[in-house]
Chain A
Amino acid sequence: MARQIRIALRNCGVIDPERIEDYISRDGYMALATVLTELSPEAVIEILKKSGLRGRGGGGFPAGLKWEITRKVQADQKYVVCNADEGDPGAFMDRSILEGDPHAVLEAMTINGYCTGASKGLIYIRAEYPLAVERLKTAMKQSREMGLLGNNILQTGFNFDIDIRYGAGAFVCGEETALIHSMEGLRGEPTVKPPFPSVEGYLKKPTNVNNVETFANVPVIINKGWEWFASIGTEKSKGTKVFALAGKINNVGLVEVPMGTTLREVIYEIGGGIQGGKEFKAAQTGGPSGGCLTKKHLDTPIDYDNLIAAGSMMGSGGLIVMDEDDCMVAIAKFYLGFTVEESCGKCSPCRIGNKRLFELLEKITQGNGTMEDIDKLRNLSTVIKDTSLCGLGQSSPNPVLSTIENFIGEYHEHVKDKKCRSKVCKSMMQYLVVPEKCIGCTLCARNCPVNAISGERKQVHLIDQEKCIKCGACMEKCKFNAIIIN
């Protein structure tokens, strides 16, 4: 039986996020006190490295190593940045943590400042999250008042303060270098790495960037020890992961499970199975950067490396469940549509390549695709991944590659048979009147926006396929189920 273990979400829904006392009563700021009074920065970094904590924002880079790199760079000023630009459609764990447990993030950032030698922290947060911003501001005020943030924290002489920076609606700003440029008041375009932000980041100073969920894990690791944390999870992925369960599943919402939990456990035991008793078809992890997992992956333990091996990725932890009514070609097109909109436009493979991928998918979903187009999709996807400047372009073709890999049959059906089995791709559908059921009430004809339906009262009606725009209005209005999709 799958169990949820709540580490990052330990306080969400448990404490009043606007009361620092609540946080403190649940060991809040204990880790900070331990770190500042008993541990050297190196010791803290060592704990983190041993814990095996990896970045929860997508890439899975070892957090302790990142802290260490930032620490080792000599500079007069360093920065700690919390990446709260959660833009993955279908993922909302960062928002929940910031709204439900803002102090956890503040505490971890302060610990990071101590370890890396930074005196300034910045939280880069989506402007679309006003409540989270309010909660953060309240929390910052409270912690300053209690001497847990600002100058001379806990009378140890350590100074660290935090500021908020707002995103403005650009998915690419989840990428570290783009995020940093955005904080500098520029277009959020990524730059070539190296140099990595840990060496040269905000205002050209060493900058440690971690995401919300990563930070939320840190105080617990300090309090309970790395051994405890490392005992949870799989060999190379320690601890837990928060997933945002959504889509065609009975229990939607956030779940936090140990790394290594299987998809089956998440969907059927925690998620309560597929809505309406329908059949599971696929689960998309990693959002527009990820791929889909299918029935054959149901018993694969979910961790960073297994997901990559399956052609997907952890991403920030969105988990969208799809059933038999979802067309996988259309899903790939949906994600590409998102990428085309969110590409910054700086590098050509991402700017033009994703557009071409989208157009090829559109062609296929409209019933005009050829087998050659599928080959083009494959080649283009490979090149876009291989040549794009940043993580967005390097992963944007994943939905295409993974749906081709797992659902090539559906692509073939679209191309060869001009058929969409899930009845999603409108161009391939025909709305037909079933003569036996039509009583000639004329309701469909009156509701057709393009006057494609003809027929006398009390006569069987006929849909002109040339004129039909496949809006489905007739089928919705028909009271006799006399209109079907072919």
Chain B
Amino acid sequence: MKTIKLIIDGKTAEVPENTTLLKAAKTVGIDIPTLCYFELKDMNIENRPGGCRVCVVEVKGRRNLAPACNTMVAEGMEVYTHNIRVLNARRTVLELILSDHPAECLTCAKSGSCELQSMAQQLGVREIPYQGEQSKYRKDTSPAIIRDVDKCIMCRRCEMMCNDVQTVGALNAVNRGFMAVVAPAFEMNLEKSPCTYCGQCVSVCPTGALTEVDHSRNVINALADPAKTVVVQTAPAVRAALGEEFGLAPGTLVTGKMVAALRRLGFDYVFDTDFAADLTIMEEGTELLDRLTRYLKGDKDVKLPILTSCCPGWVNFFEHNFPEMREIPSTAKSPQQMFGPIAKEYFAKKLGINRKNMIVVSIMPCLAKKYECQRDEFKVDGDPDVNFSLSTRELAHLIKASNIDFSSLPEDDFDNPLGESTGASVIFGTTGGVIEAACRTAYELYTGKKLEKVDFKELRGLENVRHATIDFDGLPINIGIAHGLGNARKLLEDIRDGKSQFHAIEIMACPGGCIGGGGQPYHHGDSEVIKLRASALYREDAGKPIRKSHENPFILELYKDFLGKPCGEKSHHLLHTHYFDKSAGVFVEE
């Protein structure tokens, strides 16, 4: 590749051709501020519409200032990133953006994590000289996401995520000029759109225009109610990211501190969604083996590949986009929704309390979980199996609001029996983890042999679509993995067109899996953060004494005590679900 030499603020930079000025400047220690620009390196995710104009720089010989994010280097270019012309322009552009932005920082959910706010700080804006009309739109609250697009700055990141990465198509730029904004069709509520609540729009929104529905008040109230037994479950990806909210380095595992914090918050039982993840493997693994065995015996009706079903964003996606294929995914509920009935139908009975007096709270890296726990099929007489789902970010707020000094907390252990888990369940939180966990169990159950090498490294990584063949003692099992719904769509289209060679496919809606979920601490486009979270989970897995779900003693006890056998009658009733056709339009039903 050709190397280009150019001068930026008097410093000589040498970079490969087709490098942007923004990246070239970074190589010589110049950090040009950006707002609309967004990139998740190594994941093929980039947004550079060149719209905000905050990153403009002067290129000698050009009539106008050029956006650094969208201008390619050229030999001999002379670039100035902070002369008076540039500084004045950059500040004025920011003042303009602020003049069309509500000054609600004190009460904004995004305060502290807002990129517009920190930009105003960085550039030292102390007043907004240009005042005028501000754009006003209807506020929209869906089961998981709040749209307050008065705060939209038209960076288009959400639109890019929703369309280019996730191929969901719920959001699009609408209207023109001053009234232009990103919105669902007909500016209707998100709830009426094909939104999957994956929350990726929220995770990239630089301002408070897109945030999660906050359920922490409900949880505080439940904890204060002496009549309620409040049980909490925590998803695997939370422990790998929660520390970031308290200034700990990305990738720090805070499992023990998190448990201690939850106990101090007043939860009666601190359990682990990982336990339910082990249960998921038992059910889903059994279902896989059942379909596989029938298939090998020549059963033509059996649906293969089997698709994982633990990701609620993904479930919403195929219900909206591929309803005709809704027989293919595993019927196993997600770990969150498996935990619910076990808590309320098994554990509550053990405690001798009515399920209505038990409140189950989940801590999730996810926003779709908020919608999932509100689904009608996950309720008994109107009582949801899981009452409230909080995001990792909401938990962090809750801890801070309760005067808990997180970093000085001791390390606590989960309660039993629903707190014991294996290494297999921990890696549910990263792309490839579910299928790896399933392989560990399915292999032993199918072959009857002990698995010598527990790590399936071939299933790990961040490539968008991965595939591997696992040798089940002579039987080659073809595994597919996709994270990001756009990648999932490709695999689904292959299945629909009869081109798929896979026996089993794992799909996660969010890039990176749950560690990159819509409810996680904001990564601000740093893909290293996501990678460090993944390695934290693999670290926790490696350190666990038991690393296969079917060896979890409490799981075995649960089957013996209560459930019977995997995919048996009771577990079918409590742990499996069915899917709906949600493809109908709002106005046209066909």
Contact = CB atoms under 8 A, between A and B. Distances in A.
Interface of A: 170, 187, 189, 191-192, 194, 340-349, 351-353, 355-356, 359, 376, 379-380, 383, 385-389, 394
A344 B177 contact: yes
A380 B96 CA distance: 9
B52 A383 contact: no
Contacts of B51: 346-348, 389
A344 B133 CA distance: 18
B304 interface: no
A341 B177 contact: yes
Contacts of A340: 177-178
A380 B178 contact: no
B99 interface: yes
A309 to B, nearest CB: 14
A345 B53 contact: no
B67 interface: yes
A23 B67 CA distance: 48
A394 B64 contact: yes
Contacts of A352: 96-97, 99-100, 130, 178
Given A349-B53, A387-B56, A344 B180 contact: yes
A380 B176 contact: no
Contact of B96 (A189, A192, A356): A356
B88 interface: yes
Contacts of A383: 88-89, 92-93
Nearest to B101: A352
B92 A380 contact: yes
A187 B49 CA distance: 14
B70 interface: yes
A353 B100 CA distance: 10
Contacts, number: 104
Contacts of A343: 176-178
A385 B56 CA distance: 12
A177 B53 CA distance: 18
Interface of B: 49-53, 56, 64-65, 67, 70-72, 85, 88-89, 92-93, 96-97, 99-100, 129-130, 132-133, 153-154, 173, 175-180
B64 A387 contact: yes
Contact of B64 (A341, A345, A346, A385): A385
A379 B49 CA distance: 25
B67 to A, nearest CB: 6
Contacts of A349: 53, 92-93, 96
A351 B180 CA distance: 8
A353 B94 CA distance: 11
A353 B176 contact: no
B65 A389 contact: no
A386 B85 contact: yes
B99 A356 contact: yes
Contacts of B89: 383, 386-387
A157 B64 CA distance: 45
B178 A351 contact: yes
Contacts of A345: 154, 173, 175-180
Specify which of A170, A347, A352, A387 lies most central, judged by the most chain B CB atoms within 10 Å of its CB: A352
Contacts of B153: 348
A356 B154 contact: no
Given A340-B177, A345-B180, A388 B97 contact: no
A385 B53 CA distance: 12
Contacts of A194: 72
A191 B49 CA distance: 7
Nearest to B58: A386
Contacts of A344: 176-177, 180
Contact of B92 (A170, A351, A359, A379): A379
B53 A356 contact: no
A185 B67 CA distance: 26
